[in-house]
Amino acid sequence: MKRIEHLAAIANDIGLVFEFLGIATLLPFVVLAIFREWSMLLPMALAPVIFFLLGYLLSRILCPGQILLSLPS
């Protein structure tokens, strides 16, 4: 494999991790709703949005095809 293929495979896997972190960072919204801290909605929403966007960009746009360094699920 060439260097660019290695980097594309690594970027793809990092993108998938970022998408998972985007889901995980949505969990504090339960606490936000319970304690009715509506003024914190926008600041708390930025982290999941950024993780989802970076994950999408890294895993979809830089996808090298079927080359993955992680185990298939």
Q: Where are the domains of the chain?
A: 15-61
Q: In the predicted model, is pLDDT for residue 66 greater than 60?
A: no
Return d(Cα 19, Cα 15) in angstroms, integer: 6
pLDDT digits (tens, 9 = 90+) for 15-38: 889 999 999 998 888 888 899 989
How much is the pTM? Answer: 0.72
